[in-house]
Amino acid sequence: MRELPVIVLGGAGYVAGELLRLLAMHPHLQPAAIVSRSQAGKAVPEVFPHLRGVWDTLKFVGEDAVAGVLAGAASEIAVFSCLPHGEAAARVDRLLDEAVASNVTLHVVDLSADFRLPSVAHYEEVYGGSHGAPDRYDAFTCALPDLEAHTPSGPVAHPGCFTTAVTLACAPAHVGGLASGPFRVAAVTGSTGSGRNPSPTTHHPERHGSLKAYLPLHHRHAPEMSMLLARVRDGGDEPEVLFVPHSGPFARGIHATVHVELARAMTTEQLLALYTKFYADAPFVSVSDQPPVLKEVIGTNRCRIGVAASGSHGVVFSVIDNLTKGAAGGAVQWMNRLCGFEPDAGLRLPALGWN
């Protein structure tokens, strides 16, 4: 059985912890270096107690350990970058250069926003800072594995969690030319989407028992949604996405509701048939005429979509686990594509149910 060593950059955050949970069940990917400046030398269960009994002997390492993995690799390595936005680009760029010098092929999936948007200029406009590796930018492909027919030949930038949920909800209507106006989106995310370090507005005790909107119509994931919807329709104009995110009182998951003004009158049955046909070959996306329930997908790499239509108005619901389908699981799904593994390797996961 073909096995590849895995390097995880930014190994101590929530997404990296979820990635390690998935790698414990992956038949082909074996952790070789879980890199963390802050946790180097500690055993993985000291930082992620839920992984005790799985990765007891695996330790976090410093940056200097990466050179040893490159030197010891036969020919190819899988790399997941879980570094924060603004930090990933320069580090991934150096690692790719180091791999060329070591004659090693890297399969790279970056989970930050550093290579997602169409250009360096667009990135710097949205994120308000200079890019860490502008000459590397065009080498990356930003796309969702469920919507991309061709496997990229180079590194991949996995879209954000909100972007994953919303784009999967909107894509069939956009590709089919059904949307006559903007996609109007309200989406609620759990507290893990804010990362490991709490702030006064994201700390879970502040969110528990409450619900609030933030950055209405100005969230930085909205340009990703428009970009990917244009991409899945083979280019053309980017559709307008009027996006209002909400902070939810739960830890994991995203629930998105999309209102669509339809170009022609449709019934729920007709809209369901269109969505079902569109996702017929997407094993991680299922469609129903019933609104999906968030707990049906928590802990999985699945997206569940529900549709309803009345005349010229349609509503599409989308639920995902932000840490799995929206981040680590989507990254593993991409890595399986890049490496030629089974599409569901490491991702045959039932939902957690009563989480």
Do 144 and 167 contact (CB within 8 A), yes or no?
yes
Confidence (pLDDT) at 23: 98
Do 35 and 60 contact (CB within 8 A), yes or no?
yes
Confidence (pLDDT) at 235: 73
CATH of 161-322, one of 3.80.30.20, 3.40.630.10, 3.30.360.10, 3.30.420.40: 3.30.360.10
Give the residue numbers marked as catalytic.
161
Domain spanning 4-139: CATH superfamily: NAD(P)-binding Rossmann-like Domain (3.40.50.720)
Give the closest residue to 163 by CA, choosing from 122, 205, 123, 220: 220
Confidence (pLDDT) at 248: 93
Confidence (pLDDT) at 300: 98
Confidence (pLDDT) at 201: 67
Confidence (pLDDT) at 309: 98
Confidence (pLDDT) at 284: 98
Whether 4-139 and 161-322 share one fold: the answer is no
Residues 246-275 have pLDDT tens digits of 999 999 999 999 999 999 999 999 999 999
Confidence (pLDDT) at 72: 85
Q: What is the pTM of this model?
A: 0.96
Long-range Cβ contacts of 97-100 (<8 Å, 24+ apart): 98/66, 98/67, 98/70, 99/70
Confidence (pLDDT) at 192: 85
H/E run at residue 188: strand 183-189
| Sequence-separated (6 or more) residues with CB below 8 Å from residue 280 | none
User: Cα dihedral sign for 267, 272, 273, 275?
Assistant: positive
Q: How far apart are CA 241 and CA 344, in angstroms?
A: 31
Confidence (pLDDT) at 197: 67
User: Cα dihedral sign for 326, 135, 70, 67?
Assistant: negative
Question: What tokens appear for 100 in the block?
Answer: 């060329």
Domain residue spans of the chain: 4-139, 161-322
CA distances from 252 to 163, 265, 285, 324, 354 (A): 16, 36, 18, 9, 12
Place of tokens 């996702």: 279
Flag residues of the chain having pLDDT under 50: none
Q: What phi and psi, each to the nearest 5 degrees, are found at residue 244?
A: -125, 105
Give the closest residue to 326 by CA, choosing from 207, 167, 151: 167
